[in-house]
Every structure is written in C-alpha cells, then in structure tokens.
C-alpha cells in the first residue's frame, strides 16, 4: 500500500465519566478497548499517527511503546474533545495533505472501508474539504479534513469537537457510504462494553 500524506489523530484523552473507569483500558474480549483502534491504525497507510492522551496518560504510554506514534499530552483534556483535536493538529506535519480525526472508542471499524475512504479523499476534487462515513443516513467517524482546515481545527476548544466547523462548511462535505454500522458504534458506558462482549 502507498503511504498517504495523512496525519491520523487518535483521541484518547477524555475522562470517560460515563464509563466510571479508564475507558481506553476497559476490556473488550480480553483486550484493552483502545488496542482495537491502535491495531487498525497500524494497518492504515498514513504518514504519521498522533495519539492524544490526558486522563491517566501514564497507563496508555506502554500500549504504543515501540510503535510509530507521536504521543501528545493535552493539559486541558478536562475541557473537552475540541482541545484534544487542536493539540494533535498543532503538532502534525506541516506538509500533510489532511487530518484523520479518530475516536479511540470505536472498536468495530475495519481496514478496508477506511483505506477506501482515504483513497477517495486523494481522488476528490478541490471542492471536498471534509469527508466522513455515513450509514443509513447517519454520519459517523472517523472524519477526514483537508489541510486547508488547519487554522480552524487548531483553535478548537470545548466539548463539541469539530461539529461547528463541519456545519459551517456543508458545501464542502462529502459523505462516504459505509458497509455497516461500525462507523457509528462507540463505547461510552459499561453497558456498551457488556453488549459488545456478548
């Protein structure tokens, strides 16, 4: 596979308050939840992988030891996902073509559709600044942003992530049909873990 000039930014800094434990380390089929995301990103041909940590960061560092990841500590992780996105964007390579914003709590994502979306991103014309999956009419994650969005992404704060940026640029969004609901399934609670462990 050809390596693409994409900076993948994996968000794992949150406190996971609804989980009532360290969410990335919650066990799914005997493995830490975040390990599914990391294994997936190992297979996606991007030029760099940036893991943004915060809450109990010291417990996550060993999971990427020896792997080709930048690990960035977001000192303001308690303020929400926006600051974590900005922290990743600010250290990303200046010559990247785009940013893939990846939520670390989506264990069902698969390599083939994600790699296909990256390919479509590079085949798209200049009118496409944002690309994201959609399944049965519902937009999902990860989201790809063109590098021209860097100034806006690098200033994000708060709990809404990049929703406002996407909403303000709907003419430049392309939705990519997804083969299944994996782009919608995230883990927020112990009940979510229990369902997936069944």
Q: What CATH number is given to the structural domain containing 130? A: 3.90.550.10
Which DSSP string do the residues of 3-64 spell out, in sequence order? PEEEEEEEEE----TTTTS-GGGSEETTEEHHHHHHHHHHHS-EEEEEEEE-TTGGGTGGGG
Q: What percent of the chain has pLDDT over 90?
A: 81
Tell me which of 10-19, 92-101, 133-142 is least confident.
10-19
Residue with the two structure tokens 């996105």? 85
Summarize pLDDT for 29-54 with one digit per residue, the tens.
999 999 999 999 999 999 999 999 99
In the chain, how many domains are there? 1
Q: What is the pTM of this model?
A: 0.94
Strand 138-139 to 130-135 pairing? antiparallel
Q: Which domain holds residue 98?
A: 4-197
How much is the mean pLDDT over the chain?
94
- Per-residue pLDDT at 20 exceeds 80: no
Quick one: 68 exposed, middle or buried, by C-beta within 10 A (0-12, 13-18, 19+)? exposed
- Per-residue pLDDT at 114 exceeds 70: yes
Task: Give which of 25, 8, 27 is closest to 16, Cα–Cα.
Answer: 25
């Amino acid at each position: 596979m050809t390596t693409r000039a994409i900076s993948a930014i994996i968000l794992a800094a949150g406190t996971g308050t609804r989980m009532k434990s360290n969410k990335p380390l919650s066990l799914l089929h005997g493995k830490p939840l975040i390990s599914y995301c990391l294994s997936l990103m190992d297979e996606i041909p991007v030029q760099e992988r940036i893991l943004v940590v915060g809450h109990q960061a010291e417990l996550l560092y060993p999971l990427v030891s020896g792997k080709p990841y930048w690990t960035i500590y977001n000192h303001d992780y308690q303020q929400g996902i926006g600051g974590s996105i900005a922290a990743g964007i600010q250290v990303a390579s200046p010559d990247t073509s785009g940013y893939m914003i990846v939520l670390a709590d989506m264990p069902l994502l698969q390599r083939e559709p994600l790699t296909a979306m990256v390919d479509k991103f590079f085949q798209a014309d200049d009118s496409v600044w944002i690309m994201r999956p959609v399944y049965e009419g519902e937009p999902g994650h990860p989201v790809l942003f063109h590098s021209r969005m860097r100034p806006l992404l690098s200033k994000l704060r708060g709990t809404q992530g990049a929703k406002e940026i996407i909403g303000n640029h709907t003419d430049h969004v392309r939705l990519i049909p997804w083969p299944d609901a994996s782009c919608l399934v995230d883990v927020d609670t112990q009940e979510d873990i229990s369902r997936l462990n069944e």
